A and B are shown apart, each in its own frame.
Chain A
Amino acid sequence: MTIQFNNESFRDDYSFYNSERAIKRFPFPFHEDSYMYSVNMEQHRGGPVDSVYEMRFDVDEHYVSEMRDRAMVLADDPLRCQSLPHMTLAGWDLLELIMVSKSEDYPDLFELHRDGNKWRWINKPLGIDHSFTFLDEATLPCGPMEYITRQAQGDFAVLDQRDDNLWMDAGMVTTQADWSLDFDIGMNFFEWHAPVPLAHEKGIFVRALKFLMNIQQGAPARRLNWTMTVNPLLDTSPENYHKWGIQKTELTPQNIGAKQHLRVELQTFFRLPRSNALVFPIRCYLCSFQDLMGVPKWGRRLHRVIRDLPEELATYKGFIDNRPMMLDYLKDFDDGLPTSPGIWPELDTEPPLTR
């Protein structure tokens, strides 16, 4: 499989786009016609061919451009990448996990050659060929976590596990849905989830923490989460809210199909062997409403989910003001026919729109 990398931007002129292939493999997050929080975890060990679940770390057509955007965010704000001193070993764990996974899963794009602790890493899409000594920071241009996450799509929260809790003690966070690593650094699981509505009352976080602390080596897990973003922005951070928040008011009935994006996070969880830390990669996928509407099942379902979503969740996810305009657009793609269960597009079996 060869990947044609897009040359695109996630800011200014927003030249980001999804190819036909990217739309078909978009991780649509709703498995039924309604949505409520749940600890919707499953094992992360492969999935349908060419789906975002297939590989341990999905690499797609946005890879090169996303990495360029990350470098720009970091140049403006170095605090998007932080690692407390005791997390360096976890950083090496993460570097090893990503290098081994990518070189095995995408041998045409990435190579890892190891001779004891003498490692050579070749990243063809980014033009990197670097030899270094594993576990020797002096042989890398920056810390191990920063080094490898400048070459891996998605945000990474690296969590220390101690005192029956998880602690946000390191991370690379430049493509986030409005949360800040600099604010959350050093917090425990309950502290950094404090702003989330409804889920605490439902006991979601107590159960989720228990599940996460029991994730073991060799048995990674995954789930999907979602929100809404106007314009294909990767960096919707609180730090830059003054830049992107205002764009939510620029939505019109004419431009909503192109500008309004469903933002989906593929969240995975891996136990890191040498440090016993947990890494939480949060991979962001964006898809415009008009591209989603090309899949009849998704058109029907998205309308029903957004229409029936509790007000607290629409507020928390930041689109309560735009919801009427969204529904006005989406209703034309819901003909009332039933949808099949599951997230997959089912283009061959789902009937086309009947109005």
Chain B
Amino acid sequence: MSGAEKITVKVTEVVPLNELVTRFRFERADGGLLPTFSGGAHTVVEMHDGGITRLNPYSLMSDPMDQTAYTISVRRDDEGRGGSLFMHQQVKAGDEMVISFPVNLFSLDLRAKKHLFLAGGIGITPFLAQIKQLQRFNGNWELHYACRSAALGSYADELTDHYPNETHVYYDDEKQTIDLVNLLDGQPLGTHVYVCGPKGMIDWVRKTAAAEGWPREAIHYEEFLAPQPGKPFEVKLAISNKTIEVGENESLLEAMERENVDAPYLCRGGACGQCETRVIDYAGNFIHRDHWLDDAEHAGGEKIMPCVSRFEGKTLVLDR
């Protein structure tokens, strides 16, 4: 069996926050309580869009202790394959949907003396749950949140209202930027850094922190990648003894699922490592997009993460 346990929920609220971001509230369809979770956890939302089934991960942003409802915020991606467009355009209050049990790949290090959160854009969502968790236990935290403009700064106002001392917001259109070197320099020993946002921001924080001498273990990051469209390609699956075609708008993982090949997965965003698959033979180029394999593995041609990565070339044979 693949993926986490499922829960059938009812959409009880759809709230557009701004031009790009809409918030969804889920309650259990049977009226019962949802599982508690830890701040930083995500849920995988199943979408049935015409004949296509998509499973996209979204960070849970509600209070982890609140078992009556989960909330997520979805940023519309007009360039993507349509998962976020489906959420924005098709999902209405009253709809039933299937989501997964919470899975946490971005949990707080509870040993930390202080938690320093760095958010970029929609990357704010996991921190909303972590902040609620820490507030409950008088945790020491500080948030630096960069967004494009005041109009697109989801939750910036309420964070500033509730936690004026801990919250620092930076607007790109006002040329405000996080002074990262200075910020890192001023942190007490035992601080852990968490960054969630676009890839460029994550790389910048990791590199800067490493250059400033921060231990690798004190820097935590999460970026879910949506699978990107690409040229169709053919894959031979050695164990299943099938040759399948991966279409332009589906991922390799989705194509295997369409053909009823039991492929393991968890986050579906290139982060968790669960879907790692051995390459038996290939002639062509990999388009690796995951965060799981390291550079040497990406260059090695022996492994692929089918949830987000693709292939261009003549032959690809996988151990699946």
Tell me the A residues contacting B by CB distance below 8 Å: 84-87, 89, 135, 160-163, 210, 214, 216-219, 273-276
Q: Give a binary string over B54-86; 1 marks a CB under 8 Å from any A CB, 0 the rest.
A: 000000000011000000000000000000000
Give B85-101 interface residues, CB cut-off 8 Å to A.
101
A-B CB proximity, top 10 nearest:
A86-B110, A218-B5, A276-B107, A276-B38, A86-B111, A218-B101, A216-B4, A273-B36, A276-B104, A217-B101
- Given known contacts A89-B137, A163-B217, is B35 in contact with A218 (CB within 8 Å)? yes
Tell me the B residues contacting A by CB distance below 8 Å: 4-5, 35-38, 40-41, 64-65, 101-104, 107, 109-111, 133, 136-137, 217, 266, 272-274
Residues of the B chain whose Cβ atoms lie less than 8 Å from the Cβ of A135: 136
B5 contacts A275, CB within 8 Å? Answer: no
| Alpha-carbon distance between A89 and B39 when the two chains are bound, in angstroms | 13
A217 contacts B137, CB within 8 Å? Answer: no
- Given known contacts A162-B109, A217-B35, is B102 in contact with A273 (CB within 8 Å)? yes
Chain A residue nearest to B5 (CB atoms) is: A218
B266 contacts A216, CB within 8 Å? Answer: yes
| Alpha-carbon distance between A137 and B37 when the two chains are bound, in angstroms | 20
| Alpha-carbon distance between A109 and B102 when the two chains are bound, in angstroms | 31
Tell me how many residue pairs across A and B have CB atoms closer than 8 Å: 56
B110 contacts A214, CB within 8 Å? Answer: no
Residues of the B chain whose Cβ atoms lie less than 8 Å from the Cβ of A85: 111
| Alpha-carbon distance between A160 and B109 when the two chains are bound, in angstroms | 9
Q: List 13 A-B contacts (CB under 8 A).
A: A87-B110, A89-B110, A89-B137, A135-B136, A161-B107, A210-B273, A214-B266, A217-B102, A218-B35, A219-B101, A274-B36, A274-B37, A274-B38
- Given known contacts A160-B110, A161-B107, A273-B37, is B217 in contact with A216 (CB within 8 Å)? no
| Alpha-carbon distance between A87 and B110 when the two chains are bound, in angstroms | 8
Distance in Å: Cβ of A161 to nearest Cβ of chain B: 7
B110 contacts A273, CB within 8 Å? Answer: no
| Alpha-carbon distance between A163 and B217 when the two chains are bound, in angstroms | 6
Distance in Å: Cβ of A222 to nearest Cβ of chain B: 15
| Alpha-carbon distance between A273 and B133 when the two chains are bound, in angstroms | 12
Residues of the A chain whose Cβ atoms lie less than 8 Å from the Cβ of B38: 273-276
Distance in Å: Cβ of A166 to nearest Cβ of chain B: 13
| Alpha-carbon distance between A52 and B137 when the two chains are bound, in angstroms | 37
| Alpha-carbon distance between A274 and B41 when the two chains are bound, in angstroms | 10
Chain B residue nearest to A275 (CB atoms) is: B38
Distance in Å: Cβ of A245 to nearest Cβ of chain B: 37
Residues of the A chain whose Cβ atoms lie less than 8 Å from the Cβ of B40: 276
Residues of the A chain whose Cβ atoms lie less than 8 Å from the Cβ of B41: 276
Interface centre among A160, A210, A274 (most CB of B within 10 A): A274
Residues of the B chain whose Cβ atoms lie less than 8 Å from the Cβ of A161: 107
Residues of the B chain whose Cβ atoms lie less than 8 Å from the Cβ of A217: 4-5, 35, 37, 101-103
B274 contacts A274, CB within 8 Å? Answer: no
Residues of the A chain whose Cβ atoms lie less than 8 Å from the Cβ of B5: 216-219
| Alpha-carbon distance between A161 and B104 when the two chains are bound, in angstroms | 10
Chain B residue nearest to A90 (CB atoms) is: B110
| Complex partner residue of B4 from A84, A89, A219, A274, CB under 8 angstroms | A219
Distance in Å: Cβ of A139 to nearest Cβ of chain B: 16
- Given known contacts A89-B110, A214-B272, A216-B101, is B4 in contact with A162 (CB within 8 Å)? no
Chain B residue nearest to A164 (CB atoms) is: B273
| Alpha-carbon distance between A276 and B137 when the two chains are bound, in angstroms | 16
| Alpha-carbon distance between A161 and B220 when the two chains are bound, in angstroms | 13
Interface centre among A87, A161, A216 (most CB of B within 10 A): A216
| Alpha-carbon distance between A84 and B40 when the two chains are bound, in angstroms | 22
| Alpha-carbon distance between A111 and B104 when the two chains are bound, in angstroms | 31
| Alpha-carbon distance between A162 and B217 when the two chains are bound, in angstroms | 8
A273 contacts B107, CB within 8 Å? Answer: no
Interface centre among A85, A161, A162 (most CB of B within 10 A): A162
